[in-house]
């Protein structure tokens, strides 16, 4: 269906699996996007960073300690920064055991492995460039990988891809390199500043504690860089009643660790 023009009714609210179905499965793993897929959730959100030797990897924190067994495997390598480890070293780590024994053996995926899996699952992707200030030039590398995996085709950029970041400069770079790719700025800019963000962001994706019905009205009154109504997804909302409230205020998407629960609540509302 065609996207609504500015000022017209929005499409149904989208449920996005935050770091995959991360309430159940270890975040930012292939297992977590597979669980989202099994739940019938087509939109997933994941974070991308870069290893010491230039491999793009799916990981939220800028160090490996919380979500892998890196401290055990490499006890002398504190503070275990992603950027201090080669891909070969990262590939040895267990990224699932911390979540429960049943997930032991899950690995940190490369962006390439990850794109292959979401493609197989026919999922749609909100890809976050995490801490872009740590990884100069990462935008071009990500776009190259997206192109290689078919995610910059006309249909893909229209229907199934958003690149988001807390880094406005990073998103400006993405928009400059590939103006057709949809982008999402993570944050809650002042209403007066929204037009400046709408020059390079199709979405303003805000923490749910920072928004209101009035804020959504201000966002929706604007058009993004593709001439479509500016959208706003919100994070991280695991309480179904809160998700329904935010949808009622005008949220276009709910980013959640519990996508099954939230999708059902939104359907029933």
Q: What is the contact surface with Ca ion in residues (CB under 5 A)?
A: 47, 128
Q: CB 47 → Ca ion: shortest distance, Å?
A: 5
Q: CB 31 → ligand G3P: shortest distance, Å?
A: 18
Query: Judged by CB under 6 A, does residue 252 bind ligand G3P?
Result: no
> Residues 6 or more apart from 251 whose CB is under 8 A from it?
13, 208, 211, 216, 232, 233, 234
> Residues 6 or more apart from 143 whose CB is under 8 A from it?
152, 174, 177, 178, 181
SS (H, E, C) 1-68: CCCCCCCCCCCCCEEEEECCCCCCCCCCCHHHHHHHHHCCCCEEEEEEEECCCCCEEECCCCECCCCC
Q: Rule CB under 6 A: which of 22-51 touch ligand G3P? A: 45, 47
Query: Judged by CB under 6 A, does residue 235 bind ligand G3P?
Result: yes
**Partner interacting with residue 255 (select from Ca ion, ligand G3P, none; CB below 5-8 Å by kind):** ligand G3P
Residues 44 and 37: their CA atoms lie apart, in Å, by 9
Measured from the CB atom, the residue of 200 and 233 that comes closer to ligand G3P is: 233
Residues 129 and 61: their CA atoms lie apart, in Å, by 12
Residues that contact ligand G3P, how many (by CB under 6 A)? 10
Instruction: Specify whether the CB–CB gap between 127 and 162 falls below 8 A.
Output: yes
Residues 66 and 26: their CA atoms lie apart, in Å, by 11
Choosing from 13, 14, 18, 32, the residue that interacts with ligand G3P (CB under 6 A) is 18
Measured from the CB atom, the residue of 227 and 235 that comes closer to ligand G3P is: 235
Q: CB 164 → Ca ion: shortest distance, Å?
A: 8
Choosing from 42, 94, 128, 139, the residue that interacts with ligand G3P (CB under 6 A) is 128
Residues 159-194 as b or e (16 or more Cβ within 10 Å = b): ebbbbbbbbbebbbbbbeebeebbbbbbbbbeeeeb
Binding mask 67-106 for ligand G3P (x = CB under 6 A): ----------------------------------------
Measured from the CB atom, the residue of 31 and 61 that comes closer to ligand G3P is: 61
Query: Judged by CB under 6 A, does residue 208 bind ligand G3P?
Result: no
Which of 201, 34, 185, 44 is CA-nearest to residue 126?
44
Q: CB 75 → ligand G3P: shortest distance, Å?
A: 27
State which residue has the least CB distance to ligand G3P.
Answer: 235
Measured from the CB atom, the residue of 43 and 80 that comes closer to ligand G3P is: 43
Q: Which residues bind ligand G3P (CB under 6 A)?
A: 18, 45, 47, 60, 128, 186, 205, 235-236, 255
């Amino acid at each position: 269906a065609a996207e609504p023009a500015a000022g017209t009714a929005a499409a149904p609210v989208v449920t996005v699996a935050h770091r995959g179905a991360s309430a159940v499965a270890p975040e930012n793993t292939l297992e977590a996007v597979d669980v989202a897929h099994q739940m019938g959730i087509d939109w997933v959100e994941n974070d991308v960073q870069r290893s010491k030797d230039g491999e793009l990897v799916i990981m939220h924190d800028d160090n490996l300690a919380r979500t892998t067994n890196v401290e055990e495997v490499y006890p002398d390598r504190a503070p275990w920064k992603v950027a201090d480890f080669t891909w070969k070293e990262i590939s040895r780590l267990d990224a699932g055991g911390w979540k429960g024994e049943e997930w032991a053996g899950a690995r940190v995926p490369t962006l390439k492995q990850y794109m292959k899996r979401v493609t197989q699952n026919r999922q749609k992707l909100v890809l976050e460039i995490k801490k872009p200030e740590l990884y100069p030039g990462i935008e071009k590398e990500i776009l190259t990988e997206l192109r290689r995996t078919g995610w910059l085709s006309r249909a893909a950029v229209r229907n199934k891809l958003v690149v988001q970041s807390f880094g406005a400069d990073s998103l400006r770079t993405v928009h400059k390199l590939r103006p057709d790719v949809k982008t999402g700025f993570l944050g809650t800019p002042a209403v007066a500043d929204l037009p400046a963000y709408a020059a390079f962001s199709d979405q303003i994706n805000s923490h749910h504690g920072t928004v209101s019905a009035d804020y959504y009205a201000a966002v929706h009154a604007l058009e993004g860089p593709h001439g479509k109504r500016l959208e706003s997804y919100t994070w991280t909302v695991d309480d179904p009643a809160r998700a329904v409230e935010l949808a009622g205020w005008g949220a276009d998407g709910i980013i959640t660790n519990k996508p099954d629960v939230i999708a059902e609540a939104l359907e029933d509302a």
